[in-house]
C-alpha cells in the first residue's frame, strides 16, 4: 500500500538506524526505495549490507535531495508515498497509524503524524493549540497552522497519495532551501491534512553551524516567494487570509535575516514578490531596511505577527 522513499547522501553512520526503523514497522505492506544521491562515503555499502526483499536501491549521480525524492516518487508502485530522510527514524507504529488514518479518511490525500526534534541532550515535541488532543486524529487546515506556527508536514512525518503529485507537482529540482515547504504549500493549496497527534517521527536536529547563513540563496528564497504568490492567487476565503498572515511575517523575517548577504541584483530580484506579499508594519520594516544603518532583524523577530 505504501512506498517509502529515503533520499541518501553521505549518511553512512546513520542510514542503518533509519532503514531498520522502517523494516521494524508493525505494518509490513510496503516497499522501500533508497535513492543514493551520489554518496562519496560508505552509504551504499551499508544499505547493500541490509538484506530484505522490500528494499530497492537506486543510484543516481549527485543531483540534490529534490531530484532524489522525485526519483523515488516516480519509481513508486504503491498508491501512497511516505518520505524519511537518511538520518531520521520512525516509531514502530508510524506506518500502521498512517494506514489507519487513510482508512478513516479515504477521501483525503495528505496525512501526517506528530514528530519530535532530537538534540544532543534533549527532545522537543511538535505541539500547538490547533492540533488534535494528544493521541487523537483530526483534519486540519495547513494554512491556519502555518499562520501561527511551524508547518504540520516535514520530510519525515508525511504520507501522500501518489496521484496527488501529478496534479500539484513534485519537488522543484535545483532548489536547495524551502524545497520541501514549497511542495507542501502546493500540495495543501486545496487539501486538508489528516494529522495523527502521536509522537511517531524523529528528526535529528543538526548543531547550528556558522556557515548556514552564508549558504542561504536569494534565488531559492525568491522561488519560494513566487510559489506563495501563486498559491495565494488561487485560494480564497480563510485560506487566503491565513496565507497572507504567514507570508507577511515569514517573508519579512527571512529577508531581513539574510539581506546583508544579498547583492544589489539579488535584492532587486526579490523586490517584486516582497512588495506583493508584505503589508502594514512588515512592509514598513522592509522599506526601512533599505535605509537603516543597522540590521533591524532582531527588532522585527520580537514582534508578534
- What does pLDDT average to in each consecutive run of 10 residues of the chain (305 residues)? 98 97 98 98 97 97 97 98 97 98 98 94 91 97 95 97 96 92 96 97 70 67 95 90 94 88 90 93 84 62 55
The region, left, alpha or beta by phi > 0 then psi within -120 to 50, assigned to residue 281 is alpha
201, 156 in Cβ contact below 8 A? yes
Extract the C-alpha cell encoding 133. 488532543
How far apart CA 237 and CA 242 sit, in angstroms, is 9
Extract the C-alpha cell encoding 294. 543597522
This prediction's pTM: 0.92
245, 147 in Cβ contact below 8 A? yes
How far apart CA 41 and CA 143 sit, in angstroms, is 39
pLDDT for the residue numbered 211: 41
30, 3 in Cβ contact below 8 A? yes
Place of cell 529534490: 66
pLDDT for the residue numbered 262: 87
Q: How many other CB atoms are found less than 10 A from the CB of residue 35?
A: 25
Extract the C-alpha cell encoding 112. 501526517
pLDDT for the residue numbered 285: 83
Which residues have C-beta within 8 Å of that of residue 232, sequence separation ≥ 6? 240, 243, 244, 247, 277
pLDDT for the residue numbered 292: 62
Which residues have C-beta within 8 Å of that of residue 57, sequence separation ≥ 6? 34, 36, 44, 47, 48
pLDDT for the residue numbered 205: 80
pLDDT for the residue numbered 216: 73
Exposed (0-12), middle (13-18) or buried (19+): which is 193, by Cβ within 10 Å?
buried
Beta strands per DSSP E along the chain: 2-8, 30-37, 55-60, 80-83, 89-90, 110-118, 123-125, 137-140, 158-161, 193-204
219, 264 in Cβ contact below 8 A? no
Place of cell 488532543: 133
pLDDT for the residue numbered 103: 98
Where do the CATH 3.90.550.10 domains begin and end in the chain?
2-204
Q: Does domain 2-204 have CATH number 2.30.40.10?
A: no
Amino acid at each position: 500500500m505504501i512506498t517509502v522513499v529515503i533520499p541518501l547522501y553521505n549518511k553512512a553512520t546513520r542510514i542503518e538506524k533509519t532503514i531498520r526503523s522502517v523494516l521494524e514497522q508493525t505494518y509490513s505492506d510496503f516497499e522501500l526505495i533508497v535513492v543514493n544521491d551520489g554518496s562519496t562515503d560508505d552509504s551504499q555499502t551499508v544499505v547493500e549490507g541490509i538484506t530484505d526483499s522490500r528494499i530497492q536501491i537506486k543510484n543516481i549521480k549527485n543531483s540534490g535531495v529534490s531530484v532524489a525524492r522525485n526519483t523515488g516518487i516516480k519509481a513508486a508502485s504503491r498508491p501512497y508515498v511516505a518520505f524519511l530522510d537518511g538520518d531520521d527514524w520512525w516509531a514502530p507504529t508510524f506506518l500502521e497509524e498512517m494506514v489507519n488514518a487513510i482508512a478513516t479518511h479515504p477521501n483525503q490525500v495528505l496525512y501526517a503524524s506528530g514528530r519530535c526534534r532530537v538534540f544532543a541532550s534533549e527532545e522537543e515535541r511538535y505541539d500547538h493549540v490547533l492540533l488534535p488532543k494528544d493521541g487523537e486524529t483530526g483534519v486540519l487546515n495547513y494554512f491556519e497552522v502555518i499562520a501561527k506556527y511551524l508547518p504540520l508536514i516535514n520530510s519525515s512525518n508525511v504520507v501522500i497519495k501518489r496521484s496527488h503529485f501529478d496534479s500539484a507537482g513534485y519537488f522543484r529540482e535545483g532548489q536547495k532551501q524551502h524545497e520541501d515547504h514549497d511542495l507542501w504549500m502546493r500540495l495543501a493549496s486545496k487539501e486538508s491534512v489528516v494529522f495523527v497527534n502521536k509522537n511517531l517521527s524523529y528528526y535529528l536536529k543538526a548543531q547550528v553551524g556558522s556557515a548556514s547563513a552564508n549558504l542561504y540563496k536569494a534565488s531559492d528564497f525568491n522561488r519560494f516567494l513566487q510559489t506563495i504568490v501563486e498559491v495565494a492567487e488561487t485560494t480564497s476565503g480563510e485560506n487566503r487570509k491565513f496565507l497572507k498572515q504567514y507570508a507577511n511575517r515569514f517573508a519579512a523575517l527571512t529577508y531581513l535575516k539574510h539581506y546583508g548577504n544579498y547583492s544589489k541584483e539579488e535584492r532587486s530580484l526579490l523586490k517584486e514578490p516582497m512588495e506583493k506579499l508584505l503589508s502594514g508594519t512588515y512592509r514598513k520594516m522592509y522599506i526601512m531596511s533599505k535605509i537603516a544603518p543597522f540590521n533591524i532583524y532582531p527588532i522585527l523577530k520580537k514582534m508578534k505577527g
